[in-house]
Amino acid sequence: MKATTTAQAIYGRPTSAKRIETGVFWLLRLCTYFVLLCAAFIFWDIGAKGGAVIFKSSAPFINVPFLTEAPETLNVFDYQGGKRTMGDRAFRQFKAEHEAELKGVPVETYVYSAGGIFPNIAGTVLLVLGSMLIALVLGVLSAIYLSEYATDGPFIRFLRLAIINLAGVPSIVFGLFGFGLFVIAFDFGVSLLAGWLTLAFMVLPVIITASEEALKAVPKGYREASLALGATKLQTIRNNVLPYALPGILTSSVLAIARVAGETAPMMFTAAFVMRDELPWQVQRWTEFVFQGVMALPYHIYVVASKIPQNEYTRDVQYGTAFVFLFTVAAIAMTAVILRQRLRKKYQW
């Protein structure tokens, strides 16, 4: 800044260097805002079209059936001169009542295009909760070890190498791994448990790295003071390190939740079913609970986006599902980002 103002003082008008600078800075600014605009457009497109499905202009203002029912096949047929659309159950009843009129009327069907997405939401929540529980326990304990106990050596170097490489492994390879090990070798089948473990391992490096960073940010003086007062190492960690690192760990794990929920590839063949009639908690014995596959939102989006045609009858379920999913994940991520912003301001050592 100084340099240019001096130049202005000397020459009295902007130099060519200054003009080029302004031009280039505008170019950079343009690039940056272009990226932001692109993302905003995606949010707007899905927000507007999906929002129209989820929200209603009359009470209760929310499309409750869409959020509380299971997906159904949509039947489209001509009836009394107009197009009628009906979910499978309603259509069967209707057909029984109007058998004579419906004879010979062609019926187009679109799978999953009627009903709602409740089992998918439930399945996703279960998947995320379980995998985060596993990942958090493993990840935070690992981070404590790395930041508080580890001294540099071959084991630690190897460990860090493993974590870094694990972070770069493509999610589909985690999917293959989960399929090969949990689903087939351990014979869990396509199940919640296989999905939990696969997703947990996928997100583990993220949690370890972020938690370690949060632990490292706690000043050394806190630990030394505690140790000097005769506390054991464990007491020090429990009372003088973890409480201060906890907010940081939690924010990063919230971001990790967004990642777990958002990944489709690893759960595609470890945990997700295209269609399942029972809800996850409708099991005979509790042991069956972890060995059941579930329907999941991201997989449902994949299915409705790729396996059924794009037309006016299927658009609702496509955009509606994408809306629910995108904005749930976005809300989680937003919380994390805002929390992190706040924490940076609050804890400045």
Partner 1 sequence: MSATTENQPLPRLATREVLLRKRRGWFFGMTGDQVVKYLFQGNAAVSIIVLGLITFTIFKDAVGFIPMNHANLAVYRLAGLEYVDLYREQVTAHSTMSRYLADIRARQLDILMQQEGLTAAAAMARLAAFDDFANKFADTINEQETLLGTMSDLVTAVKERQKVAEDLMVARQNLLGGMQGAAPDRAAQLQKDAAAIQIEVIDFKAEIQPVLALRPELVAANASQIAAMREIAAQAPKFADAELSRRMGKFQGFVQGYFKEVEVIAGRMAAWDQAKPIGWLEAFNAFAFGRKWVTASFWQDWYGIIPLLSGSLLIAFLALLIALPLGVAAAIYVNQVARPAEQKFIKPYIEFISAIPSVVLGFFGIAMLGETLRRVSQIPALDWVPGFPMAERLNATTAACLLALMAIPTIFSLAEDAINNVPRSFKEASFALGATRLQTIIHITVPAALSGIMAAILLGFGRVVGETMVVLLCAGNRIQTPDLASGLGVIFQPVHTMTGIIAQEMGEVVRNSIHYRALFMVGVVLFLISLLINWLAQKIVRRYRISIG
In the window 187-246, what residues touch partner 1 (CB under 8 A)? 201, 204-205, 208, 232-234
Q: In the complex, what is the shortest distance from the CB of residue 220 to partner 1, in angstroms, rounded to a whole number?
A: 19
In the window 302-321, what residues touch partner 1 (CB under 8 A)? 302, 305-306, 310, 315, 318-319
Separation CA 110–CA 87 (nearest Å): 10
Q: In the complex, what is the shortest distance from the CB of residue 216 to partner 1, in angstroms, rounded to a whole number?
A: 15
Q: What are phi and psi for residue 285, nearest 5 degrees? A: -125, 155
Q: What are the residues whose beta carbons fall under 8 Å from the beta carbon of 32, sequence distance 6 or more?
A: none
- According to CB under 8 A, which one of 8, 11, 34, 278 is a site residue for partner 1? 34
**DSSP symbols for 294-337:** B--HHHHHHHHHHTS--STTTHHHHHHHHHHHHHHHHHHHHHHH
Give me the residues paired with residue 76 across strands.
85, 108
Between 291 and 327, whose beta carbon lies closer to partner 1? 327
Q: In the complex, what is the shortest distance from the CB of residue 89 to partner 1, in angstroms, rounded to a whole number?
A: 27
- According to CB under 8 A, which one of 11, 39, 48, 229 is a site residue for partner 1? 39
Residues 241 and 195: beta-carbon distance below 8 Å: no
Separation CA 160–CA 154 (nearest Å): 10
- Token pair listed for 258: 């967004």
Give me the residues paired with residue 155 across strands.
none
In the window 263-302, what residues touch partner 1 (CB under 8 A)? 263-265, 268-269, 298-299, 301-302
In the window 250-269, what residues touch partner 1 (CB under 8 A)? 255, 258-259, 261-265, 268-269
In the window 43-82, what residues touch partner 1 (CB under 8 A)? 45-46
- Token pair listed for 287: 């042991």
Mask for 112-151, x = binds partner 1 (CB under 8 A): -------------------------xx--xx-xxx-xxx-
Q: In the complex, what is the shortest distance from the CB of residue 78 to partner 1, in angstroms, rounded to a whole number?
A: 27
- Residue (of 129, 111, 167, 47) closest to 305 by Cα position: 111
Q: In the complex, what is the shortest distance from the CB of residue 118 to partner 1, in angstroms, rounded to a whole number?
A: 19
The rounded Cα 193 to chain-centroid distance in angstroms is: 18
Between 64 and 173, whose beta carbon lies closer to partner 1? 173
In the window 152-191, what residues touch partner 1 (CB under 8 A)? 158-159, 162-177, 179-181, 184-185
Number of residues that bind partner 1 (CB under 8 A): 95
Q: In the complex, what is the shortest distance from the CB of residue 217 to partner 1, in angstroms, rounded to a whole number?
A: 16
Q: What are the residues whose beta carbons fall under 8 Å from the beta carbon of 63, sequence distance 6 or more?
A: 53, 54, 55, 56, 320
Q: In the complex, what is the shortest distance from the CB of residue 1 to partner 1, in angstroms, rounded to a whole number?
A: 7
